[in-house]
Amino acid sequence: MPADTQPAELDSAKVHGFDVDLFSNFRETFLPVAKVVAVVQVDSGDGERRDPRKWRNWLRWRFYRHHTLAVWRSFASAYSTNDFVKYGVWAGLLIVASSLIQFSIQYDLFAGDVASDLGVEQASWTDTLLHTVWYSVVTITTVGYGDVSPTSNLGKVVGIIFLILNFGVITVLSGTVASVLVAARLTGGATVDEDKYKAHTIICGWNQFVQPLLKIVDADTSVSPVVIVINETSEDIVGRAIHTFKRLDVMHVKDNYTREEVLKKAFMERAATVIFVPDTSGLLPTESPDEQKTILAVLTAKGLAPAVNVVAHTTDPENVSHLQRAAANEIVVTDAYTANLLANHIVNPGMPQFVNHVFDPTSQNGRIKALELPQEMIGESHRKVFAYYKLSHNQLLLGYAVRVSGFDLGAAMGESGSGFIRDMINEQLEQSGVSLSTDEKVVIQINPDDSYVVDAKHRALVLD
């Protein structure tokens, strides 16, 4: 502060013994206080002067208190947000508590053991305390060298109590460490670019359909190239299958995709689509995958992110009802159309060949695509939309994929009957965790009437 701007009460101040270096170190942190009480020694009015050492001591106390509180706040934040820190603290407290109690109730046992090890007649209390800490760490980590153990009944009871407490804490701590390793595996030890994982695709499981699936996604530039593949298949096998893709950014996570923490690390809530396929990881060619794993994984995914689009693949039609109850948005059954295609080779020759052609990813033309409608076509009739695609893009409009809401119990009940009864039913269902409406579904409208009007929930199905 310039001299001409000093407050009037400081103009008459008498400066005595001021510690310039101390003020320079503290002024950034305590400038508002230092301006008033720390830089000068003011006459008290009766000729007595205040001791400058008291101000320096006060400043030091404020300085250390400020930084101690900052460290404590940082620790409290880490404890509340980081499970590794939280359970690490609990494990440390268990070790300290066990050490102090055993040190108190079985001092002679540990002191004698230390004296025997050191070859002395009497061990010091510091050596004995260190030995009890050693015993606690060995016990709580379940290593159990057996070099010392409680001999009194009270010591054994205390040991049992701490072993039981340790079972919960160390188990959770181990799980937390495992989740950290999963994160490291997911990121390859690098910093995660979270912005990268938006509208991406997650494929859970591994079988003969995954590589052709990725090949089709690689050829379509309209979808995000970011793909996360989660399974327990060897990195070598997955690496050989995905290394030829030029556009895709595929990340392989070798882990169990039925676990919540694994799906969370794949940023599932941000994904555009999550696909679950029967997992043949580690199976022999003659063995069949356990499709109950797919059902469990769908339930887990929908529990974590109810709004995510989940597509489930099954080889057993009997699993369809289970996947529907698990809230899968779409279900694909292997060989569901095989009989139909075989029959059409007889009754409708040419149709099976057409189907194979339009779904062949190597076809340069004649492929079916689902496209977002241009903004100017929203609210127009099917006739105008058909003409738009034919004249502007030389594409044949076949129909529409329409996102529609599933069954809505509230809408089905309407306003009929007693309002009290309706409210009671709604309240009971919500308390039971039952949703009053199902997820959106996609329905197909093929060649609708010319007067059919489209809206923002329609996507055009065109033959390119």
As a whole number of angstroms, the distance between CA 275 and CA 444 comes to: 21
Task: Give a yes or no: residue 439 inside a domain.
Answer: yes
Distance CA 176, CA 182 (A): 10
- Out of 150, 184, 218, a domain closes at 184
The answer on 119 and 87 residing in a single domain is yes
Residue 350 forms part of a structural domain: no
Mean pLDDT of the region 249-260: 90
| Residue with more model confidence, 139 or 283 | 283
- What is the spatial order of strands in the sheet that 441-446 belongs to? 368-372, 458-463, 396-404, 441-446
* Domain assignment of residue 353, yes or no: no
Query: What tokens were used for 203?
Result: 């494929």
Q: Are 180 and 198 within one domain? A: no
The predicted pLDDT at position 382 comes to 94
> Among 164-168, 289-293, 434-438, where is mean pLDDT lowest?
434-438
**pLDDT(127) > 90:** no
Q: What is the pLDDT of residue 381?
A: 95
Task: Give residue 365's region: left, alpha or beta (phi > 0; psi -120 to 50).
Answer: beta
Q: Is the pLDDT of residue 187 over 50?
A: no
In a domain? residue 153 = yes
With contact defined as beta carbons under 8 Å apart, do 436 and 430 qualify? yes
66 plus 87 within the same structural domain: no
**Averaged pLDDT, 29-49:** 47
Residues 231 and 261 reside in one and the same domain: yes
The answer on 293 and 219 residing in a single domain is yes
Task: Report pLDDT digits (tens) over 366-421.
Answer: 778 889 999 999 999 999 999 999 999 999 999 999 987 655 555 555 555 555 55
CA separation for the pair 371, 352 (Å, rounded): 24
Plot region of 394 (φ>0 → left; ψ -120 to 50 → alpha; else → beta)? left
The rounded distance, in Å, linking the Cα atoms of 401 and 459 is 5
Per the structure, how many domains does the chain have? 4
The verdict on residue 76 lying in a domain is: no
Q: pTM for this structure?
A: 0.48
Q: Would you say residue 359 lies in a domain?
A: no
Residues 199 and 303 in one domain: yes
Q: Above 60 in pLDDT, residue 17?
A: no
Establish if 355 belongs to a structural domain.
Answer: no
User: Sign of dihedral through CA atoms 390, 394, 397, 403?
Assistant: negative
Instruction: Check residue 275 and give its pLDDT.
Output: 94
Residue 342 pLDDT greater than 70, yes or no: no
Length of the chain: 464
Q: Give the domain CATH number at 330.
A: 3.40.50.720
Which residue did the predictor score with more confidence, 332 or 106? 332
What is the pLDDT confidence band of residue 3, given thresholds at 50, 70 and 90? very low
My answer on whether 204 and 326 are in the same domain is yes
Tell me, yes or no, whether 176 and 199 share the same domain: no
Domain extent, residue 416, equals 366-463
Tell me the average pLDDT across 50-58.
63
Among the listed ranges 44-53, 202-211, 227-236, which one has the minimum average pLDDT value? Answer: 44-53
CATH number at residue 158: 1.10.287.70
The residue with greater pLDDT, 229 or 91, is 229
**Res 336: pLDDT:** 64
Q: Is the model's pLDDT at 195 over the cut of 60?
A: yes
Residues 217, 180 within the same domain = no
The per-residue pLDDT for 65 is: 75
Q: What is the DSSP string of 315-383?
A: S-GGGHHHHHHTT-SEEEETTTTHHHHHHHHHHSTTHHHHHHHHT-TT-SSS-EEEEEPPGGGTT-BHH
Contact present, 265 and 194 (Cβ < 8 Å): no
Residue 455: what pLDDT?
Answer: 93
Residue 212 has pLDDT above 80, yes or no: yes
Domain closes at, from 46, 70, 94: 70
* pLDDT, tens digit, 9 for 90 and up, residues 303-326: 899 889 999 999 888 999 999 999
Asked if 179 and 122 sit in the same domain, the reply is yes
Question: DSSP labels for 226-259?
Answer: EEEEEESS-HHHHHHHHTT-SS-EEEEEES-TTS
Q: At residue 11, does pLDDT exceed 50?
A: no
- φ/ψ (deg, to 5) at 47: 90, -10
Domain boundary among 153, 184, 215: 184
Residue 367 sits at φ, ψ, to 5 deg, of -100, 145
Residues 29 and 151 grouped into a single domain: no
Q: Residue 245: which of 220, 209, 278, 267 has the closest Cα?
A: 220
pLDDT tens profile 148-174: 777 777 777 877 887 777 776 667 666
56: nearest Cα among 20, 10, 32: 20
Handedness of CA 405, 269, 174, 259 (dihedral sign): positive
Longest dimension (CA), the chain: 119
Q: Is residue 348 part of a domain?
A: no
How far is it, in rounded angstroms, from Cα 44 to Cα 53?
Answer: 16
Residue 135 and residue 179 in one domain: yes
Of residues 27 and 330, more confidence is placed in: 330
Confidence of residue 116 (pLDDT cuts 50, 70, 90): confident
**Measured distance CA(155)–CA(63) in Å, rounded:** 45
